[in-house]
Structure 1
Amino acid sequence: MKQWLKQIYQHLFALFFPDHCAVCRQRGTLLCGNCRATLQAYPTMAVPTDLVSIQVGWIYDEPARRAIHCLKYRGRRRMGGVLAEALATTLTPPAADALIPVPLHPDRLNERGFNQAEELANSLGLCWGIRVCNRGLERERDTGHQARLNREARQGNVAGAFFWHGPGRPPARVILIDDVVTTGATLSACAEALLAAGAKEVHAIALARSLVRGSSGSAVRRHFAQRRRRQA
């Protein structure tokens, strides 16, 4: 009965408040096919301390930013499934026993109402057939917003902020899931807590990252120049 009522509610909500693409505002979808095609693949990034590997889906430019903000700040939780589905077709995950979303502090979780990394992990778990471990890793200290902090300040800000509280040990092979990565300090701090609790290897996957000037930018330009030549 509850599921039936939920379906009716979703149908009525979609009827009176139809979806619009977060990027171009086209009616009928949260992320249209044309805008999804403009998401630019992120080339590579240095692997943060304590991680075995890290994969980033897209460059955090205007299309990706608008889509992620739709999920993160406008409360459109279904965008998590849309972005996860797109990411699942873009990246191949390493062998793992579980996906673990980067946790929010309880105060931030109460403020936002949901954890965007958890929404992504739940959908990615279905796409990849990997179980999701939403309990155990906790953020015990509110680290606030890190956007204006440099690399060293970010590392110090998140040091010791995460702990594993079970039950039991964490899975042996873990993939951390997050929305946006900058320096990787948060992911590294999460990995440190998991390894200390008994995990054997920790990987990470994120939706997007701002393009760092330098060799990565050159790699991206070469990548899209080659793709344009193939299409021509």
Structure 2
Amino acid sequence: MSSTLDSMIKTPATSRKRKLALGGGREVDLQDLDAETVEAEVVEAMKQRIIELEDQLAAKPPPTKRARTSAAAAEAPQASGSGAPSKADEKKRKAQLKKICDRLKKECKSEKCKFQGSPKSIRIEEIMEYPEFEAIFMGKGTLIQPTPTNKPKSTVTIIEYRSREQINALFGEDLKALKGIRWSRGGAPFFEKSLKLGQCDVEIAHVEVNYSKNGMKCALKFEVQEEGRRYSSDGW
């Protein structure tokens, strides 16, 4: 017993104290013990501590089992945000798209947007998180930035919708027939005021979307024109 205690006590010294709790709130430093004069109370406390440590080790799975468990966890499928959108996400997407369409319809009918024989530009800005922007705009138009050859690390995304197919893919049924007001041209040579001539059908010729991840600001620039009109160099 003396040799066993001696081997346990005379371990290489470290900066950490090796203390053992005894009855009555006493503590003893194992590194200061003399194996020849150790008290029976200390031996009993060491015995109980050894049993306690063995029980703790027995409760843990063996290393090979832990490794298998970790491997199984690594192989388990992980949740991904790129899956099918939930009903709540789809509802939010439609609500945001409707908000944009309603603002566009209102702008087309405003006196700031006078259809006098030339295309008009309308700018609309919205604040939205990137996943929402991605769900609405990505994959439907032509990505201008970032691309492998154009500012690949940019936090600003630019997408253009140039064709009727791309514009329809973006808005679908959310954007039905647009209406505007046709105006006469005022000014020279008689310096007349422009006058309302009546309602006209309006179509989207081009859309540019500019989204900043840092500010979460989405700016949409619409180019709209009278439906079916082909403009000449003088605007008519």
Q: TM-score, normalised by structure 1?
A: 0.24
Higher RCO structure (Cα 8 Å, ≥6 apart): 1
* Higher-strand-fraction structure: 2
* Higher-helix-fraction structure: 1
Q: Select the structure of larger CA radius of gyration.
A: 2
